[in-house]
Amino acid sequence: LRMLRAQALPDGISCNAASSACAGAGRWQRSLGVLRGMSETTVRPDEISYNVAISACRSEGEWAIAVALLERTKDQTLQPDETSLNAAMNICAIGGRWQLVIRLLAAMPEAALKPDQISHGAAISACKRLGRWQTALFLWTSTGEADGISTSAVISACAQDGRWQAAIAVFREMK
């Protein structure tokens, strides 16, 4: 068995699994270390490698690192996908970077990606956290397919700012 292990070389799947295990345990720095280590071997990181690393940054709200990783995917001639952008937007939302979330949301169609409920929810939640009820309301009305989470976030954003009339109007739109 030791001989088999000694001959086994890491590949993308095993590296991504190790990075994901670290991320799942809240060890975001180790997860990033696995990604960094891939560059030092013949294993080339793929979209999944970066998605795992970006998501790992969530445990400590490391939004700047998540955005840097998102940018690095382009340097690696990889195309970020919805998972990459949604993960980065959620981390930025947690970090209170609502303008960055809006920018990432706006970049999705430019990258031939369709924003989904997770994308819109992250943007609306970021606006809610910082009392940007008008921006949250605008995003909610522009989605075309609002879900219960986004709708609740908009109602809450309006209520936080004392805009009960707007909150009731959003609630009525649900029906």
Beta carbons of 139 and 114 less than 8 angstroms apart: no
Counting every residue written for the chain, the total comes to 175
Nearest to 86 by CA among 110, 65, 70, 64: 70
Contacts for 6-10: CB closer than 8 Å, 24+ residues apart: 10/41, 10/43
**Residue 135 predicted with pLDDT over 80:** yes
- Rounded to 10°, the helix 133-143/98-110 angle is 20
* Res. 1 pLDDT band, cuts 50 70 90: very low
Q: What is the mean pLDDT of residues 3-23?
A: 79
Each residue's pLDDT tens digit, 19-73: 999 999 989 999 999 999 997 888 899 999 999 999 999 888 899 999 999 999 8
| pTM for this entry | 0.81
Give the CA distances from residue 103 to residues 92, 106, 108, 110, 129, in Å, rounded to whole numbers and listed in that order.
Answer: 11, 5, 9, 11, 17
Return d(Cα 158, Cα 9) in angstroms, integer. 55
Measured torsion, CA atoms of residues 98, 58, 150, 143, in degrees rounded to the nearest 10: 60
Beta carbons of 22 and 56 less than 8 angstroms apart: yes
- Rounded to 10°, the helix 82-94/47-56 angle is 10
Tell how far CA 145 is from the center of its chain: 20
